Amino acid sequence: MRFTHTDRNGFLLGLLDFFTAGLFFLLYMPLGGLQRELEEVLGHELLPYRKAYLRGIPTLFLYTLVWMARIAEELKAKAVELGVEGPYTSFRHMFGWNVFGLLLLGPGVSTKRFFDTLNRVERELNRRH
């Protein structure tokens, strides 16, 4: 698979998602092809975001945050495996910025790092194929 979206602005995507209470990614994950790309990069199927979102409602979205943080950790492992230079996203980075940095634009910061890592991994995979 050739990845065509290797320049996503994670900070803006994170802020959009934050200010829409996660509704933005409900549309962006399936319609923007992000779910499919993540599955291709990581090499396995992921729980669809809509299900993670719905499971997150009764937990004040803690479930959804842990779901995303686990994907971030897998993405970090993939970046290291490919020899992509850091800084990387990680479980701790995603979780920490979204919880402790909530009032300091933390969701934008964590999502920026996530997409920076994803963009670099996808560019490396494109280069290899």
pLDDT of the chain along its 129 residues, tens only?
Answer: 799 989 999 999 988 888 888 889 999 998 989 999 999 999 999 999 999 999 999 999 999 999 999 999 999 999 999 999 999 999 999 999 999 987 778 888 999 999 999 999 999 999 998
Structural domain contains residue 5: no
| 70 occurs within a structural domain | yes
pLDDT attached to residue 122 = 97
pLDDT number for residue 55 = 97
Cα radius of gyration (the chain): 14
Residue 2 domain flag: no
Nearest to 119 by CA among 73, 81, 68, 84: 84
In a domain, 35, yes or no: yes
pTM: 0.93
Let me know if residue 3 belongs to a domain.
Answer: no
User: Which tokens in the block code for residue 106?
Assistant: 């933390």
| Domain interval for residue 39 | 10-128
Q: How many domains does the chain have?
A: 1
User: What is the predicted pLDDT for the residue at 65?
Assistant: 93
DSSP one-letter code for 43: T
Q: How far apart are CA 40 and CA 111, in angstroms?
A: 19
